[in-house]
């Protein structure tokens, strides 16, 4: 836990220093978004055990679905996350709106193709990574002699 807090603190310092070394179009928005981002990351460290249980319950239910459906959901999830991240980055640095970025992506066929291929690959890899994470959690909890959480209700 100490290592995670140290890495989070180092990351916060690096992210806070970026506007001093690179031009940022919306500096106020950048810093306004940086504070909640670090707070969420800190809560993720603090609630690690609860998040592991939540993942276990969710993946135990989802892994029974067809692989193609899981890959499709993970692809959509990664595409949305990637688009939001790219949009925020271009908004902060260049001042471009998400609609302008979407127009650029749709009209630039090679960029759209790369975007789709990358997100499909991420969706495929995430399915296997989630399975590995699930198995690691089960192994860790069995080694500790703990009982596995029950999947009663929503995770």
Of 78, 100, 81, whose CA–CA distance to 91 is shortest? 100
* Any domain includes 23: no
The residue range of the domain holding 92 is: 47-143
pLDDT at 18: 81
pTM assigned to the model:
0.76
The whole-angstrom separation of Cα 78 and Cα 104 is: 19
Predicted confidence (pLDDT) per residue in 90-135, tens digit: 888 888 898 999 998 889 999 899 999 999 999 999 999 999 999 9
C-alpha 122, offset from chain centre: 11
Within a domain: 113: yes
Residue 27 lies in a domain: no
User: What is the pLDDT, as a whole number, of residue 73?
Assistant: 94
Q: Identify whether 19 is part of a domain.
A: no
Structural domain total, the chain? 1
Residue 149 lies in a domain: no
Residue 120 lies in a domain: yes
Q: Which residue has the tokens 């306004």?
A: 32
Residue environment code for 53-85, b if the CB has 16+ CB neighbours within 10 A, otherwise e: beebbebbebeeeeeeebbeebbeebbeeebee
Per-residue model confidence as pLDDT tens digits over 49-84: 899 999 999 999 998 999 999 999 999 999 999 999
2 occurs within a structural domain: no
Does residue 20 form part of some domain? Answer: no
Q: Give dist(CA 33, CA 113) in Å, integer.
A: 30
């Amino acid at each position: 836990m100490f290592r995670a807090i140290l890495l989070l603190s180092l990351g916060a310092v690096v992210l806070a220093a970026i506007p001093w070394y690179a031009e940022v179009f919306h500096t106020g928005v950048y810093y306004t978004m940086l504070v909640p981002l670090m707070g969420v990351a800190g809560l993720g460290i603090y609630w690690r055990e609860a998040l592991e249980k939540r993942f276990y319950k969710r993946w135990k239910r989802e892994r029974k679905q067809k692989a193609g459906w899981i890959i499709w959901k993970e692809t959509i999830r990664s595409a949305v996350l990637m688009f939001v991240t790219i949009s925020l980055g271009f908004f902060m640095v260049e001042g471009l709106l998400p609609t302008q970025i979407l127009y650029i992506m749709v009209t630039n066929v090679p960029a759209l193709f790369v975007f789709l291929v990358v997100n499909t690959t991420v969706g495929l890899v995430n399915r296997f990574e989630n399975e590995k994470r699930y198995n690691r959690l089960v192994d860790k909890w069995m080694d500790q002699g703990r009982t596995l959480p029950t999947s009663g209700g929503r995770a």
